[in-house]
Amino acid sequence: MEYLAHVLVMVCLYGILATSFNLLIGFGGIFALAHATFYASGAYAAGILATKLGIGFPFTMLAGMVVTAAIGLLVAFPAMRVGSHYLVVITLALQAITIDVLMNSKPLTGGPDGIPGIPPVSLFGTPLNNPVAFLPLAAVMAALCCAVAWRLGASPFGRSLRAMRENEAAAQAVGKNLVRMKLVVFALSAGLASVAGSLVAHYIAFVNPESFTIEETILILAMVILGGMGNLWGSLAGAAILVLLPEGLKFVHVPGDIADMVRQVIYGVVLIVILRLRPEGLFPETVFRPPTGAVLPTVPANGPVSAVVRAEGAPGEVVVSAKALAKSFGGIKAVKDLTIDLRRGEIVGLIGPNGAGKTTAFNLLSGFLRPTGGSILYHGRDLTKLKPHEVVTAGLARSFQDLKLFTKLSVVENILVSLPRQPGDNLLDVYLRPGLVRRAERENVARALEIASFVGLLAKADEVAANLSYAEEKLLVIARLLATGADVLLLDEPLSGLDTGTVERICGVLRDLARANKAICIIEHNLEVIRGVCDEIVFIDEGRVLTKGPPDTLMRDRELAERYFG
């Protein structure tokens, strides 16, 4: 009985580690390999506080969570600057440093000998000093940690994490603060992992560096991959399989001199077969779809221009004024002395030959590039030094030539993730004010569906973005920008690659937006579209404005005709 209870305790502890790791990798797409460091921090914090200061559980666990969350914040800083294999290298280095610190800080950590004699957890005067007594506590803590992780994954913050995982630039372009998001998810993931560390320290009554090597991180990663990325139930299943399978193989009777080798081979073959049959893991990614069914019947199929998209202010008012913008890449001057004004209710076409600096201009206006000269004013406020998400919050949003949709999210989720100031994006509200978050989510779903109706995508509200046609993807890009609430919309080739009917449909949407008092700037090569939809054309070449004016006037310009119109 004690043996079975011990195995189940380890399933619970590894379940905590796997679900917390899945928040980083499965939800946030942050491939950091330092989870054993967080595990060790919780264990050593409990061991040191219990043996040296006489502090008991649960205070050792709470202190470990605080310390480990702080370590998680420190790990998050390099994650803001680098990604992919660079982050893997950095976190592997942290893992190695952690082991060295534990081995060499003997007065504090006991060095290679570790910390023995950690007192067991005592609840209501009863020491939990055997597996049977400890199992209920381990199960309750595993359930609590999984509930915390599930609440985050199912919240608007979790939706933002999945958007960040798919495309960081697109997440910034709809106003998401990636720095804040990475700090939060790292701290929470680390804090949850430390819970398992605190529990294992009190359970085994001993900790040493050998329990927290890179192999431990790889084991936890294997649990996440086996169970399924982005699925917390899968993490629990992966933990159970990888804890139970080796134990079960001990009952396979083979000659003693080759027993370990045979069991390892069987273990490896079983894992290969599972991943071969289910390469995405045992469970697919959990789908947290917003409840649209109750709201859909109340939304008109073709919504009018409403308060959802209308911008306040006087038509013709200058909203954005860029003066003498310049951007150099080494000796190459991509933009030089670029001046442009965007007014409410007007559509400006930015045209010029390939390489003229049009997209660079958009990158400067939207904060994705810092200008080397000039200024960008929004209602007199200087945007020049703002980050992309701050520019969106100020009131200017942009699209990309390659669309950058969140393809694994539905149409309504793509719109929802772009809505600003959601209570569900605040971690304290997610856990302490769930009622407020639910009410706001219902209101935001209605708002998102109204925007979908405005662009003609209401019937596709629950469709995954990856399944949309190219024309529908273009409309979703516009819907996502509208959801940000920005007054100024920068659209990079919104009509390229479309048939005539769809072009006219999107042009109609753009005209409606101009009538709704939005200031719009588009990059477009279709001259008929430029002539039909734009109030003004700004022609740039070699990074500077050559001329600007009404479409008909510029298209009669002989010099421009020779240089661009052909």
Q: Mean pLDDT of all residues in the chain? A: 88
Q: Assess whether pLDDT exceeds 70 at residue 298.
A: no
Q: What integer pLDDT is reported at residue 561 of this predicted model?
A: 63
More confident residue, 250 or 453: 453
Q: Assess whether pLDDT exceeds 70 at residue 301.
A: no
Q: What integer pLDDT is reported at residue 355 of this predicted model?
A: 82
More confident residue, 142 or 279: 142
Q: What integer pLDDT is reported at residue 308 of this predicted model?
A: 64
Given a contact cutoff of 8 angstroms between Cβ atoms, the answer to whether 36 and 13 are in contact is no
d(CA 355, CA 329): 14
pLDDT tens digit string along 251-265?
A: 767 665 565 676 667
Q: What integer pLDDT is reported at residue 256 of this predicted model?
A: 57
Q: What integer pLDDT is reported at residue 313 of this predicted model?
A: 80
Q: What integer pLDDT is reported at residue 165 of this predicted model?
A: 92
pLDDT tens digit string along 149-162?
A: 999 999 999 999 99
Q: Assess whether pLDDT exceeds 80 at residue 248.
A: no
d(CA 539, CA 159): 40
The stretch 51-59 carries a mean pLDDT of 91
Pairing of strands 396-398, 488-492: parallel
Instruction: Tell me the three state secondary structure of residue 83.
Output: coil
Given a contact cutoff of 8 angstroms between Cβ atoms, the answer to whether 171 and 414 are in contact is no
- Specify the amino acid at residue 357: G
Lowest mean pLDDT among 252-266, 348-362, 451-465, 522-536: 252-266
Q: What integer pLDDT is reported at residue 62 of this predicted model?
A: 94
Reported as a pLDDT band with limits 50, 70 and 90, residue 416 is very high
d(CA 274, CA 147): 27
Q: What integer pLDDT is reported at residue 232 of this predicted model?
A: 92
Of 162, 143, 324, 323, the residue nearest 236 (C-alpha): 143
Q: Assess whether pLDDT exceeds 90 at residue 423.
A: yes
d(CA 506, CA 502): 6
Q: What integer pLDDT is reported at residue 312 of this predicted model?
A: 81
CB neighbours (10 Å) of residue 116?
13
Residue 291: which region, alpha, beta or left (left: phi > 0; alpha: psi -120 to 50)? beta
Reported as a pLDDT band with limits 50, 70 and 90, residue 389 is very high
Tell me phi and psi for residue 157, to 5 degrees: -65, -40
Q: Assess whether pLDDT exceeds 80 at residue 347.
A: yes
Residue appearing with tokens 């083979």: 254
Q: Quick one: how far is CA 507 from the chain centroid?
A: 32
Lowest mean pLDDT among 73-82, 93-102, 458-467: 73-82
Q: Assess whether pLDDT exceeds 70 at residue 476.
A: yes
d(CA 461, CA 446): 11
Instruction: Tell me the three state secondary structure of residue 284.
Output: coil
CATH superfamily of 318-565: P-loop containing nucleotide triphosphate hydrolases (3.40.50.300)
Q: What integer pLDDT is reported at residue 25 of this predicted model?
A: 92
Q: Where are the alpha helices (DSSP H) in 461-550?
A: 470-483, 500-515, 527-533
The stretch 184-204 carries a mean pLDDT of 95
Reported as a pLDDT band with limits 50, 70 and 90, residue 124 is confident
DSSP annotation of 286: P
Q: What integer pLDDT is reported at residue 468 of this predicted model?
A: 94
d(CA 32, CA 221): 10
Q: Assess whether pLDDT exceeds 90 at residue 36.
A: yes
Q: What integer pLDDT is reported at residue 291 of this predicted model?
A: 74
d(CA 546, CA 237): 63
Q: Assess whether pLDDT exceeds 80 at residue 23.
A: yes
Written in H, E and C, the secondary structure of 371-419 is CCEEEEEECCEECCCCCHHHHHHHCEEECCCCCCCCCCCEHHHHHHCCC
More confident residue, 217 or 276: 217
Q: Assess whether pLDDT exceeds 80 at residue 229.
A: yes
Q: What integer pLDDT is reported at residue 157 of this predicted model?
A: 95
Instruction: Tell me the three state secondary structure of residue 127.
Output: strand
Instruction: For residue 354, give every residue at least 6 positions away whose Cβ sits within 8 Å of its Cβ, in sequence order, or none.
Output: none
Q: What integer pLDDT is reported at residue 323 of this predicted model?
A: 93
Reported as a pLDDT band with limits 50, 70 and 90, residue 547 is confident
Q: Assess whether pLDDT exceeds 60 at residue 219.
A: yes
Q: Given 3-state DSSP classes, what are the helix, strand and coil percentages for the chain, each rounded to the nearest 5?
A: 60, 15, 30
d(CA 59, CA 46): 9
Task: Delimit the domains of the chain by residue range.
Answer: 2-212, 318-565
The stretch 13-17 carries a mean pLDDT of 96
Q: What integer pLDDT is reported at residue 354 of this predicted model?
A: 83
pLDDT tens digit string along 499-531?
A: 888 889 899 899 999 998 999 999 988 777 888
Lowest mean pLDDT among 54-63, 69-78, 191-200: 69-78
CB neighbours (10 Å) of residue 19?
33
Structure-block tokens of residue 368: 């994705």
Helices vs strands, H then E, count in the chain: 22, 14
Q: Assess whether pLDDT exceeds 80 at residue 19.
A: yes
Q: Assess whether pLDDT exceeds 90 at residue 293.
A: no
